[in-house]
């Protein structure tokens, strides 16, 4: 199994982490410009990311996800394998062959980007990110940028609200097992940290991002022992002051 048939988004295929209509629109822009003698540098678009209104019971949001957005814009490419994949799509049969033979192999995002700093508060109708450049470039980038920024902003905003009501407490993010994918678990850990959390259960976030990973114990550890206190003593004997004990069990051997 190689990187392009594993089902994982990676550096080799992330240019395709988009909605298909972005690609059909992009190819249509190219074809229109080619047939009308329009140079790409003359076909400039500006896209702004903002919200129109806040969710109920909210009075601000926290911006997060910029680092992943910039990484994508700097590194996403159309590989030979991806170009061959697209070339075979029936929908592209009227697109000039130069699109596949000359344009896509040399494609590299050429966009000017303006954005807030991650962790900033923002409000309705306030642009948090702006991209400007050739229409094809700006169009292709839209889905990926929305994806990484929307998700991390949601998590960071929720984490900030928790931090506001517990400013002096140690706050840990434990959402990986319920996140919508392993990558979402890392992004949630990152966004929570931006909003003021102290650590995470996600070990990739520690290894890659330096966000301290920590945890308690599972109910299965408690159930392994004859009594709850026996499990606590065993754990504490090994981890002493680093122990975080699971105190939400009921009875000696919880079901």
Per-residue confidence (pLDDT) for residue 250, from 0 to 100: 55
The closest of 19, 30, 17 to 102, measured between CA atoms, is: 30
Using one digit for the tens of pLDDT, what is the confidence trace for 36-68? 999 999 999 999 999 999 989 899 999 999 999
Q: Checking phi first, is residue 128 left (phi over 0); if not, alpha (psi -120 to 50) or beta? A: alpha
Contact 199, 213 (CB under 8 A): yes
Per-residue confidence (pLDDT) for residue 62, from 0 to 100: 97
The residue-averaged pLDDT of 88-111 equals: 97
55, burial (CB in 10 Å: exposed 0-12, middle 13-18, buried 19+): exposed
The closest of 119, 124, 152 to 54, measured between CA atoms, is: 124
Using one digit for the tens of pLDDT, what is the confidence trace for 131-142? 999 999 999 999
Name residue 130's beta-bridge partners: 48, 114
Give the Cα separation of 62 and 55 in Å (integer): 13
Examine the pLDDT at 205 and tell me if it is beyond 70: yes
The residue-averaged pLDDT of 206-214 equals: 94
Examine the pLDDT at 199 and tell me if it is beyond 90: yes
Contact 155, 142 (CB under 8 A): no
The residue-averaged pLDDT of 21-25 equals: 97
Per-residue confidence (pLDDT) for residue 216, from 0 to 100: 86
SS (H, E, C) 45-66: EEEEECCCCCCCCCCCEECCCH
pLDDT over 90 percentage in the chain = 83
Per-residue confidence (pLDDT) for residue 204, from 0 to 100: 94
Per-residue confidence (pLDDT) for residue 2, from 0 to 100: 56
Examine the pLDDT at 144 and tell me if it is beyond 60: yes
The residue-averaged pLDDT of 118-140 equals: 96
Which domains, from first to last, does the chain contain? 1-155 (3.20.140.10)
Per-residue confidence (pLDDT) for residue 254, from 0 to 100: 43
Q: What is the pTM of this model?
A: 0.88
């Amino acid at each position: 199994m190689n990187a392009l048939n594993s089902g994982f988004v990676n550096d080799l295929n992330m240019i395709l982490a988009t909605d298909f209509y972005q690609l059909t629109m992009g190819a249509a822009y190219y074809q229109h410009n080619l047939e009308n003698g329009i140079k790409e540098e003359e076909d400039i678009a500006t896209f702004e990311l903002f919200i129109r209104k806040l969710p109920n019971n909210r009075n601000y949001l926290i911006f997060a996800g910029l680092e992943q957005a910039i990484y994508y814009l700097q590194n996403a490419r159309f590989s030979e394998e991806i170009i061959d994949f697209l070339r075979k799509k029936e929908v592209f049969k009227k697109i000039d062959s130069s699109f596949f033979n000359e344009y896509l192999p040399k494609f590299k995002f050429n966009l000017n980007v303006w954005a807030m700093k991650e962790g900033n508060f923002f409000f309705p109708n306030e642009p948090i990110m702006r991209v400007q450049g050739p229409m094809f470039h700006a169009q292709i980038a839209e889905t990926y940028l929305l994806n990484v920024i929307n998700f991390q902003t949601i998590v960071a905003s929720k984490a900030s609200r928790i931090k506001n009501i517990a400013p002096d407490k140690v706050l840990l993010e434990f959402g990986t097992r319920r996140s919508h994918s392993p990558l979402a678990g890392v992004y949630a850990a990152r966004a929570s940290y931006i909003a003021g959390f102290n650590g995470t259960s996600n070990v990739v976030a520690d290894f890659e991002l330096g966000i301290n990973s920590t945890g308690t114990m599972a109910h299965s550890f408690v159930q392994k022992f004859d009594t709850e206190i026996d499990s606590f003593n065993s754990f504490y004997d090994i981890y002493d002051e680093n122990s975080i004990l699971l105190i939400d069990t009921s009875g000696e051997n919880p079901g």
